Amino acid sequence: MTQFLQQIINGLSLGSIYALIALGYTMVYGILKLINFAHGEVFMVGAYTGYYAAGALGIAAFEERHQSFPLYLALLVLIAAMAAAALLGVLIELFAYRPVRNAPRLTPLITAIGMSLFLQNAAMLVFSPNPRRYPAVLSEVRFELFGVIVTNIKLTIFVVALSLMLGLHLFVQRTWTGRAMRALSFNIDAAKLMGIDTNRVIRSTFAIGSALAAAGGILFGLDQITINPLMGVLTGLKAFVAAVLGGIGSIPGAVVGGLLIGLAEQLTAGYLSPEYRDAITFVILILILLLKPEGLLGVVRVEKV
Amino acid sequence: MRRMLLRSAVGVVVLIAIYGLGFGVEAGFTEYVQRIILLAGVNIILAVGLNLINGTTGQFSIGHAGFMAVGAYAAAFVGVKIAPGLHGLLGTGSVADAVVFNLALLAGALFAGISGLIVGMPSLRLRGDYLAVVTLGFGEIIRILFNNATFLGAATGYFGDSPSGLPAYTTFFWVYAWVAAIVVLIHNLTFSQTGRSLIAIREDEIAAEAMATPTTRLKVTAFAISAATAGIAGGLFAHMQAGVRPEDFRFEKSIDMVVMIIVGGLGSISGAVLGGIFVAVSLELMRDLQQYRLVLYALLLVVIMLVRPQGLLGNRELYQLARKPKPPSTPMEGM
């Protein structure tokens, strides 16, 4: 029972990272019907920006003196990474996706694959292909709760992810831009006819999705200790599956899907074999496409001629 | 009847020509160049096969290295296991070797085709780009499976039962005989009524369905054929070296294939042939620039999409170069 609870705790914290990344996939897909393959790489760049930001803020000195990194500096790291990723997301949209937005379906898809591949390999050149130990932006405190080991890191991951998602929810529901985003995902042409500056709204969508992915990147670094330039490939794939599982285009769906994928992965690793932890996501994807392709919280859309 | 006789005659002449050319290649080129020529042949099979699903049918697969891996392992394994029996039956001459090799290749095609069915059926029922994600996942997972399959040598790779590794069956003749067979097969399929239906699916799936085209069945069939050809290429590739290793079939391999068909022009068979040769040669030229190769390929993909999305030839064939290319179709969004 304690082992089960332990896996649940680990699964929820991993799942909330997937959920953060899945939000970016689902928002972009909802509006542009494009699988933004480069999103996993934005997540990776976010993690690296956090790494360098923490370095620039002198984390090495704190680690040497066994002091914990001050919280306001940790927040600064988070904000720097989110800002850098938002900028990257906007640039990708501007240079790679906007010129092909009205091209035949395959063109933007291939561009997205190309962008993802470019960022992966450019990152290997710039950051070196070797994995790096992630700086302890948050020093670990362990405590026991009903026999289950909980760390403050897992709790922080969960809380930070949840508050960001709550913030996104309020943004999408309560602000003008949020309402415009919903209008675009409902019908982009009609939204344009209503005088919405679609370019501006799409730009904000990319900025927000990328910032959330960067937050996910920092949390991932905290959780997994190491980062590498290819970390976005498999994690991005899992987050995309999370978005499909929850119903692509649906924001609450991405959250539910992310948490479920995290749980499934941890339970597989704990009870079956750690080797299959990556394969389970793929099995889930196949099952969901076979049984309920619109996802758990998605709406069935009738295709019209 | 006369047409069939004529066609068989042409086929025999082509095979004899390839056979003769094989002697010329073996006599005239160093082993290094010969290897590039063989790799180019394998690439052509991969590109022409991938083009059927990505170019002609418009369903994008980015995990074809996975099917190549399945074909390579299946062909190597089956070849090793049936060789003793068939050698007992047919002697140990070159005829027996040819029979073993081609049966092994067909086994590779069969296994790859079946995996294509398994992967394609759930993902191609739906409209949209799910195939890209599913194949990406498949390519990664299949490599993890081979990495852990102890009866196939796990991470070291499968080298058969003899200490010298897999027999080097792959010669110029066999590679290019299969190239010819597959190019003709895919060409005939593309220009048949079924091929027209596949193009209709690419251009507008809803309209194709309204015209009573069985879209799901055709997409899955095209995908399975495409996977099977990748399996043949895998089998040929496996018997070019001593063994098959999981890391021969990494994501980069799938990207190489995508580059082949996009450079030449999506939907063009001759474009795929040119693309296959281009990648084989550029791989060798950039051997010392390994770490830059994928950055360049990625940039190439993006730039081609932004500047000339139809690739070198567009959807034309080499012999149609005089023809004006069809303008890229824009489905009527939002209607």
A186 and B CB contact within 8 Å = no
pLDDT above 90 for A272: no
| Residue A220 pLDDT | 94
Contacts of B328 in chain A (CB under 8 A): 103-104
Q: Which amino acid, B248?
A: D
Contacts of A33 in chain B (CB under 8 A): 128
DSSP of chain A, one letter per residue? -HHHHHHHHHHHHHHHHHHHHHHHHHHHHHHH----TTHHHHHHHHHHHHHHHHHHTTHHHHHHTTPPPPHHHHHHHHHHHHHHHHHHHHHHIIIIIGGGTTS-THHHHHHHHHHHHHHHHHHHHHH-SS-EEPP-SS---EEEETTEEEEHHHHHHHHHHHHHHHHHHHHHHHSHHHHHHHHHHH-HHHHHHTT--HHHHHHHHHHHHHHHHHHHHHHHHHHHSEE-TTHHHHHHHHHHHHHHHH-TT-HHHHHHHHHHHHHHHHHHHHHT-GGGHHHHHHHHHHHHHHH-TT-SS--------
| Residue A48 pLDDT | 95
Contacts with B, A 232-271, CB within 8 Å: 233-234, 237, 240-241, 244
Q: What is the pLDDT of residues A22-36, one digit of tens each?
A: 999 999 998 988 889
Q: What is the pLDDT of residues A160-218, one digit of tens each?
A: 899 999 999 999 999 999 999 999 988 889 999 999 999 999 999 999 999 999 999 99
Least confident among A61-65, A238-242, B61-65, B161-165: B161-165
| Residue A225 pLDDT | 87
Q: Is B265 helix (H, G, I), strand (E, B) or coil?
A: coil
B207 and A CB contact within 8 Å = yes
- Could you report the predicted ipTM of this complex, rounded to two decimals? 0.82
Give the pLDDT mean for A99-127. 90
| Residue A33 pLDDT | 87
Give the pLDDT mean for B178-207. 91
Contacts of A121 in chain B (CB under 8 A): 291, 294-295, 298
Q: What is the pLDDT of residues B282-294, one digit of tens each?
A: 888 887 787 788 8
CB contact (8 A) between residue B295 and residue A125 = yes
* A43 confidence band (pLDDT: 50, 70, 90): very high
CB contact (8 A) between residue A244 and residue B122 = no
Contacts of A278 in chain B (CB under 8 A): 140-141, 144
Contacts with B, A 275-304, CB within 8 Å: 275, 278-279, 281-282, 285-286, 289-290, 293, 303-304
Q: How far apart are the first and last CA of chain A?
A: 54
| Residue B323 pLDDT | 66
- Work out the widest C-alpha separation in chain B, in whole angstroms: 67
CB contact (8 A) between residue A122 and residue B295 = yes
pTM assigned to the model: 0.87
pLDDT above 90 for A303: no
Question: Which of A95, A121, A245 would best serve as a mutation to test chain B binding (most B beta carbons within 10 A)?
Answer: A121
B292 and A CB contact within 8 Å = yes
Per DSSP, what are the bridge partners of residue A226? A133
Choose the closest CB to A282 out of B137, B292, B294. B137
pLDDT above 60 for B229: yes
Contacts of A272 in chain B (CB under 8 A): none
B155 and A CB contact within 8 Å = no
B289 and A CB contact within 8 Å = no
**Would you say A34 and A293 are in contact if contact means Cβ atoms under 8 Å apart?**
no
